[in-house]
Structure 1
Amino acid sequence: MCLVFIVDEDEKVIGRYAAGGACPYCGGQVQALDVEKAWRLWYVPLYTRTKRKFLCSFCNRPLIIQYP
């Protein structure tokens, strides 16, 4: 017997905003992205999560914000 699960993960950008600060690598402008992730099993949504990511608009490096 063999079980096959078709699981898909979609990422969709909901919004893109200018964030304060500069990239520590190249000095470019930082952008904040609102990203919605959805896990699906045969096109049926199982789990949805909205997350904010930061990246540089010039070099496209993902930036990690550290809170004190």
Structure 2
Amino acid sequence: MTVASQVKQSLASLKGVQTSLSSLSTRTQSEEAKKTFQEGIELIDQVKKDLINRVGELEREEEQYKGI
């Protein structure tokens, strides 16, 4: 597995975690838990942005990684 495909796989996993946190946030009654879930969602958003940027760098550096 190439570095680019590992980064993309990590990005997909993060999206799944973010979806789970969002679902938990809407189902919980606890305001404290909702706040914690939202903070997690925001943190994952930042990490996702960083990974998307890294994928772009990898694709620019190595043509064979494009579209993986």
TMscore range, shorter length: under 0.3
TM-score (norm 1): 0.23
- Computing the radius of gyration from Cα coordinates, the structure with the larger value is 1
| Structure ranking higher in strand proportion | 1
